[in-house]
Structure 1
Amino acid sequence: MLRPQDGPTRERRSLTGLWRFRLDAGGTGRTEGWWRAQLANAVDIPVPASYNDIYPDAVVRDHVGDAWYQTSVWVPDRWVGQRVVLRFDAATHHATVWVNNTEVAQHEGGYTPFEADVTAHLQPGAENRVTVAVNNELSWSTIPPGTVEELPDGRRVQRYLHDFFNYAGLHRPVWLYTTPLLHLSDITVTTTFDDTTGVIDYRMDSSGEAARCRVVLRDAAGDEVATADGANGTLRVPDVHPWAPGDGYLYELEASLLSTSGEVLDSYRQTVGVRTVEVRGQQFLINGDPFYFKGFGKHEDAAVRGKGHDDVLMVHDFALLDWIGANSFRTAHYPFAEEILDYADRHGVVVIGETAAVGLNLNIGGGVFSSGRRVSTFAPDRVSDDTQRAHLQAIRELLARDKNRPSVVLWSVANEPDDVPPEARDYFAPLAAETRRLDPTRPVAYANALLGPPDECVVADLFDVLMLNRYYGWYFGPGDLASAETALETELRQWAELHHKPIIITEYGADTYPGLRSLVPSPWTEEFQTEILDVYHRVFDRIDAVVGEHVWTFADFATAPGVFRVDGNKKGIFTRDRRPKTAAFHLRIRWRKSE
């Protein structure tokens, strides 16, 4: 699936803006056919945005069920004879789409794109109605999972195990775009080096056979540096300029389908960053050089807009990453908007791409570890074969979307799943195998919680990198930093000795209320956040196998209401409105010292 773009053979139209919006907790809109006419009793809603915080109404914020969106779009006469496609970059979590009176698409999964050929359902030279029912309900057969509880008074409440608010809606742009009837449907590129020559293998997929397929590669100045004929082939670029951390150099590959006379039937431009990724022993290598991850786990989250993509906030966040000296981040805990990965590609920021598989652990709830006996997560009415099927599909859609991105160097298939019972191996072995089958060029990992220590975890050997989320001194022995330092070092040495793989600490930190200060560091103060990070950093510097540190988290974010979270998760180095806490300046000194 190629992203919409304008070009000699393609045209796109953004449907960003104000749509009509109506909640439908009872699901009556489907039986009454709300898509067949103008949406009655509707209000304005911006797209893209989460709908939950737009209006000051708890009913909207806590809504469970269908939410209806509707807009109209003019289809010009010049599009006659073209293939017209309606694309949603994300609809959280399930979407049903109608164009005029016809259902054209359904999609499960809130963070990856889907589209439908709507050529036959549009009226050229007229306004056309687009209606979407977006459902935010989670179950044990969705990724992420959840359950819906019906209260005695009839209200329905969504329960979930992930520690971020279940924002919903059309979070990313919506597009209507054209292609020729005979068109390119996909492009895949992989890169390597032959000494100083860049080697680019490419594959073009199309809707039918053209007389000729041709590719042209241009450098950043627009000069042609390599060409090839055929739907599959190899380009060689002498004295190639590699894509590297901090140097987001991109080539542009133009793929074309040609007629027998040489006429361009369809063309598409695909950016290419020439780089390699490898795990060798306890090292993580980019272009053959050891790489050390410095950065954050990060959420798409902001006041009012929720998870709605916003270019202004995106550019500001990347500026803060640069200011603090970060070189990477993890898309915790779902695929981020493609605009964010575009920016990372162009600026040489390294990314760990993660699926939305968070909450697959009944021993963790809302970021808080349960106490007492261990609960079994894997069962027919919990994490089951149905969950695994949804999880596999989430992996396939993530890799299909981001396979060509040089910034993405590591796939994370899950965050903090239950990885101790024997059933965990049966669940995760096919996931790891499918990820490698789809993309043998990148390592595969998952983020391990402390409930799966090295002598109990049954799945770590299935993966290439050890990603560890650790909270000694916070959830475990809160406030006792001396014990935290000893316990952390002991455990990391156990992991290194047992698996001899690179270790990235993908979460560590402490909740910190901005402005709460203390002469003696104590939990929730800015001094304690700074001190606990220093403790962890001393340990990292003593363990050769540690190849990265991602603080949890970049900025404070919204969570489900509860007594364990006051106005959300406060582990951010920046506040939700991006003001720095004291720890930000300490991290800046550490991370910029190593530049």
Structure 2
Amino acid sequence: MPSRRTVLKAGVLAAALPSLTVPRAFASTTPSLPPHGEREPAGTRIERIAGTGVLFQYGEVVPSFDGWAHQEPTRAYRSLNGNWAFRFDPDDTGLSGGWHLPGADVSGWDRIAVPSSWDLKDDPDWGSYDGTGFGSGTAFQDGYAWYRTELRVPGAWVGKQIRLMFLAVNYRADVWVNGRFIGSHEGGHTPFALSVGNALQPGSGAVIAVRVHRRADFTDYQTGTGPLSDPLAVPWKPVDYWPYAGITRSAWLEAVPQVTIAKVLVSAQDGRFETRVVVANHGPRRFSGEVVVKPGHGTSRGVVPVSLAAGEVAVVAASLEIPGAPQWRTDRPRLLRATVEVRSRDRVVVDQLSTTYGVRSVQVDRSLLKVNGEPQFLKGFNWHEESAAHGRSMTIAEYDHELGHALDTGANLLRNCVYNRHPYVYDWADRHGVFVMDDIDNMWMNTDQERVQTERYGLSRALAATMAWNQHNRPSVILWCLQNESEIDANGGPVYRAWLQDMKDAIKALDIQNRPVTWASATSWDPAFDIADVVGFNEYFGYFYGKNEDLGPTIDAVHQNHPDKPIIITENGSWSYLGKHGPDTEQGNEEWHAANFRSHWQQVTDRPDYVAGYLFWVLKDYKQRLGYNEELNGISTMGLLGFDSTTRRLVYDDFAAAALPEGR
């Protein structure tokens, strides 16, 4: 069995293919779970301020994370990328042993790059299809590991608010600065910011310690015992992508003024620029001044007075005409840059924050999905963010190469299955005119997990909210995706519906652009499709069940049930052995793989009045450690490309040749 995906269709579990029996070589030393509180540790909440939803975590407004690449003149930055001291903690003794304290002896510790994935630390054949060594190396090291770095804080940072910024740590991070605990974060693909407070002293040295935890997928990899689950985590059990561990994206310190612009939200369409500027006063006294908004087109600007008490957060709204501003379109992805300043009474610039945006609208018009008022048909693919050389810590060159396949194949949509991507991905899509369906980690959740997330823990809601907040201004992002193939409880799915509605409500409270919400359902008969703005479902007719030609009648039935909603096929695909050729009727041949795609493509493009798009599964082969394809080193062979993101299957050329419906 070269690949497997578990899919539920029409309420029936698809028949599983026979499983392989492959010896496992590595036993997880730490099957333990990290500690959990009553709620997810960031304390995520949405507060309505002056009619605008504002996202808070750790008691502060969630700030802009553009500092990884763009630096404002009113702020100071210190990159933390580089070599850190590193040590696995298989017996969870590091905390009691004082590994977080400034005076800890790290002379015997290893070194590791930040960002990187510890999976590749001792796995030289990561990209090989030879599974001889599968189950060995640091790719199967789970539980706790510690990171430490030392630096000197510039003396010029006196009087600044200092925060510690991470683009991603997988899965859980506990953070200390100079021995003082400053916070925990849960969720492996979401940026977070922790206020350092007075744990750092400008002009002095500092030690930052991060304890990272990854759950084991099995209690014993050698025997396959398990799987191991965590009832509060998202995802809560093993899934079929690789859970790359560590500080996998950039980290830095950022020093901002006491009165600071935390976030700028933008919506621009029909010659008008709307913004909500979130300003926070961390100083000891009231601040009075003005907010100056420069939309980056023409000479118009807005000046709005602002007054904040000590500790207050305010939202300043501005609406400006930008006549003649170019639209952001896939064929002409014109970007603008808005700059916002907070000035004192004597017009001294106190803080500045800028953001890129595009003049672009997205709306659902009955069964059509429209961008800038024009009906769209979305041709795209799912993709996993990883490379053989760097795991989930890809380089800019690797992103450019990989995402370039969208341009080569005429794809106009990326689905970020099933987690948020590095900010560069959204930058790339904005600049190249490629749409994005953004996604979060809710994969294969069951009813108990859906209930606990909605009623108690709140991590699913936090992931949805941070997705909408962090990617808000991206013109490429046109769809928010809530979950992938999760369980539907009986009697119409009340738990499932409440879970989805909870996440959708959070997004709608934050997104002033009001983009459509969808999800990748496991079934075309999802009882919650009435909640979705766009109906999305995964289908594998002709592979897991049924025949290829069953797709068209299924789509027609879905349209009959939901005539006022566009439909998107959020996944479809099959598999083939790379380089294996033969009749297109024989499973596993590249010809069979390509013929399956052609059949499904024809059926979706025959229905452009109510089918808004199709997403192939998947751009390239991808790694997983769920327990199948171990003879292929854990690589699932469903890609247009091999794991190297270069070697093409026949289906790549068919996908590239696939034409959009006439008029789209």
TM over 0.5: yes
Instruction: Please say if 1:13 is aligned against 2:78.
Output: yes
Larger RCO, structures 1/2 (Cα 8 Å, 6+ apart): 2
User: What is aligned with 1:389?
Assistant: 458
Q: Provide the C-alpha distance between the structure 2 equivalents of 1:265 and 1:224, rounded to a whole number of angstroms.
A: 22
User: What is aligned with 2:208?
Assistant: 130
Q: Is this contact kept in 2: 1:164–1:558, CA < 8 A? A: yes
User: Relative to structure 2, which stretch is displaced further, 80-89 or 33-42?
Assistant: 33-42
Using a 3 Å threshold, how does the CA distance of structure 1 residues 192 and 228 change in structure 2: closer, same or farther? farther
Q: Match for 1:29 among 87, 94, 107?
A: 94
1:137-152 aligned at under 5 Å gives the runs 137=215, 149=219
Q: Provide the C-alpha distance between the structure 1 equivalents of 2:83 and 2:616, rounded to a whole number of angstroms.
A: 37
Q: Is this contact kept in 1: 2:238–2:626, CA < 8 A? A: no
Q: Is this contact kept in 1: 2:290–2:303, CA < 8 A? A: no
Instruction: Please say if 1:63 is aligned against 2:159.
Output: no
Q: Match for 2:544 among 462, 471, 475?
A: 475
Q: How far off is 1:326 after superposition? A: 0.9
Q: Give the AA of the match of 2:161.
A: R
User: What is aligned with 1:113?
Assistant: 191
Q: Give the AA of the match of 1:499.
A: H
Q: Match for 2:582 among 501, 518, 530?
A: 518
Instruction: Please say if 1:256 is aligned against 2:341.
Output: yes
User: Relative to structure 2, which stretch is displaced further, 236-245 or 555-564?
Assistant: 555-564
Q: How far off is 1:420 after superposition? A: 5.2
Q: Give the AA of the match of 1:516.
A: K
Q: Match for 1:462 among 531, 553, 559?
A: 531
Q: Match for 1:494 among 541, 557, 574?
A: 557
Q: Is this contact kept in 2: 1:325–1:592, CA < 8 A? A: no
Instruction: Please say if 1:320 is aligned against 2:393.
Output: no
Q: How far off is 1:8 after superposition? A: 2.0
Q: Is this contact kept in 1: 2:302–2:318, CA < 8 A? A: no
Q: Secondary structure at the residue paired with 1:585? A: helix
Instruction: Please say if 1:270 is aligned against 2:355.
Output: yes
Instruction: Please say if 1:200 is aligned against 2:274.
Output: yes
Q: Provide the C-alpha distance between the structure 1 equivalents of 2:116 and 2:587, rounded to a whole number of angstroms.
A: 34
CA deviation profile, 1:104-158 (whole Å, cap 9, x unmatched): 12111111111122252224334421110011128xxxxxxxx764799999974
Q: Give the AA of the match of 1:512.
A: S
Q: Provide the C-alpha distance between the structure 1 equivalents of 2:660 and 2:77, rounded to a whole number of angstroms.
A: 42
Q: Is this contact kept in 1: 2:583–2:592, CA < 8 A? A: no
Q: Is this contact kept in 1: 2:329–2:433, CA < 8 A? A: yes
Instruction: Please say if 1:570 is aligned against 2:632.
Output: no
Q: Is this contact kept in 2: 1:211–1:258, CA < 8 A? A: yes
1:201-350 aligned at under 5 Å gives the runs 201-207=275-281, 209-219=287-297, 224-230=299-305, 231-350=316-435
1:70-109 aligned at under 5 Å gives the runs 70-109=148-187
Q: Provide the C-alpha distance between the structure 2 equivalents of 1:153 and 1:241, rounded to a whole number of angstroms.
A: 60
User: What is aligned with 1:427?
Assistant: 499
Using a 3 Å threshold, how does the CA distance of structure 1 residues 123 and 153 change in structure 2: closer, same or farther? farther
Q: Provide the C-alpha distance between the structure 2 equivalents of 1:304 and 1:506, rounded to a whole number of angstroms.
A: 29
Instruction: Please say if 1:44 is aligned against 2:111.
Output: yes
Q: Provide the C-alpha distance between the structure 2 equivalents of 1:319 and 1:453, rounded to a whole number of angstroms.
A: 32
TM-score of the superposed pair, with normalisation by structure 1: 0.88
1:436-455 aligned at under 5 Å gives the runs 436-439=508-511, 441-449=514-522, 452-454=523-525
Q: Secondary structure at the residue paired with 2:448? A: coil
Q: How far off is 1:414 after superposition? A: 0.5
Aligned length: 555
User: What is aligned with 2:247?
Assistant: 170
Q: Provide the C-alpha distance between the structure 2 equivalents of 1:166 and 1:473, rounded to a whole number of angstroms.
A: 29
Q: How far off is 1:262 after superposition? A: 0.7
Q: Is this contact kept in 2: 1:429–1:462, CA < 8 A? A: yes
Q: Provide the C-alpha distance between the structure 2 equivalents of 1:242 and 1:94, rounded to a whole number of angstroms.
A: 40
User: What is aligned with 2:13?
Assistant: none
Using a 3 Å threshold, how does the CA distance of structure 1 residues 492 and 96 change in structure 2: closer, same or farther? same
Q: Provide the C-alpha distance between the structure 1 equivalents of 2:617 and 2:224, rounded to a whole number of angstroms.
A: 38
Q: Give the AA of the match of 2:160.
A: Q
Q: Match for 2:572 among 494, 508, 523?
A: 508
Q: Secondary structure at the residue paired with 1:72? A: strand
Q: Provide the C-alpha distance between the structure 2 equivalents of 1:546 and 1:177, rounded to a whole number of angstroms.
A: 45
TM-score of the superposed pair, with normalisation by structure 2: 0.79
Q: How far off is 1:541 after superposition? A: 2.0
Q: Provide the C-alpha distance between the structure 1 equivalents of 2:620 and 2:481, rounded to a whole number of angstroms.
A: 21
Q: Is this contact kept in 1: 2:273–2:322, CA < 8 A? A: yes
Q: Match for 1:53 among 110, 113, 120?
A: 120
User: Relative to structure 2, which stretch is displaced further, 570-579 or 436-445?
Assistant: 436-445
CA deviation profile, 1:40-99 (whole Å, cap 9, x unmatched): 532121211211122138252112211111112232222223222211111111111111
Using a 3 Å threshold, how does the CA distance of structure 1 residues 358 and 304 change in structure 2: closer, same or farther? same
CA deviation profile, 1:370-401 (whole Å, cap 9, x unmatched): xxxxxxx3238986656762111111221221
Q: Provide the C-alpha distance between the structure 2 equivalents of 1:557 and 1:151, rounded to a whole number of angstroms.
A: 20
User: What is aligned with 1:590?
Assistant: 658
The two structures, once aligned, show a CA RMSD in angstroms of 2.5
Instruction: Please say if 1:399 is aligned against 2:471.
Output: no
Q: How far off is 1:335 after superposition? A: 0.7
User: What is aligned with 1:352?
Assistant: 437
Q: Is this contact kept in 1: 2:363–2:369, CA < 8 A? A: yes
User: Relative to structure 2, which stretch is displaced further, 170-179 or 76-85?
Assistant: 76-85
Q: Provide the C-alpha distance between the structure 1 equivalents of 2:226 and 2:600, rounded to a whole number of angstroms.
A: 42
Q: Match for 2:482 among 391, 413, 420?
A: 413
Using a 3 Å threshold, how does the CA distance of structure 1 residues 427 and 216 change in structure 2: closer, same or farther? closer
Using a 3 Å threshold, how does the CA distance of structure 1 residues 202 and 433 change in structure 2: closer, same or farther? closer
User: What is aligned with 2:267?
Assistant: 190
Q: Provide the C-alpha distance between the structure 1 equivalents of 2:453 and 2:264, rounded to a whole number of angstroms.
A: 34
Q: Is this contact kept in 2: 1:228–1:235, CA < 8 A? A: no
Using a 3 Å threshold, how does the CA distance of structure 1 residues 591 and 132 change in structure 2: closer, same or farther? farther
Q: How far off is 1:172 after superposition? A: 0.8
CA deviation profile, 1:250-307 (whole Å, cap 9, x unmatched): 1111111111111001111111211111001111001101111111111111114221
Using a 3 Å threshold, how does the CA distance of structure 1 residues 50 and 246 change in structure 2: closer, same or farther? farther
Using a 3 Å threshold, how does the CA distance of structure 1 residues 524 and 210 change in structure 2: closer, same or farther? farther
CA deviation profile, 1:390-445 (whole Å, cap 9, x unmatched): 11111122122111211111111101111352232233232223322332611111
Q: Give the AA of the match of 1:559.
A: Q
User: Relative to structure 2, which stretch is displaced further, 502-511 or 32-41?
Assistant: 32-41
Q: Provide the C-alpha distance between the structure 2 equivalents of 1:513 and 1:251, rounded to a whole number of angstroms.
A: 45
Q: Secondary structure at the residue paired with 1:253? A: strand
User: Relative to structure 2, which stretch is displaced further, 316-325 or 435-444?
Assistant: 435-444
Q: Give the AA of the match of 2:605.
A: D
Q: Provide the C-alpha distance between the structure 2 equivalents of 1:278 and 1:153, rounded to a whole number of angstroms.
A: 51
Q: Provide the C-alpha distance between the structure 1 equivalents of 2:453 and 2:259, rounded to a whole number of angstroms.
A: 41
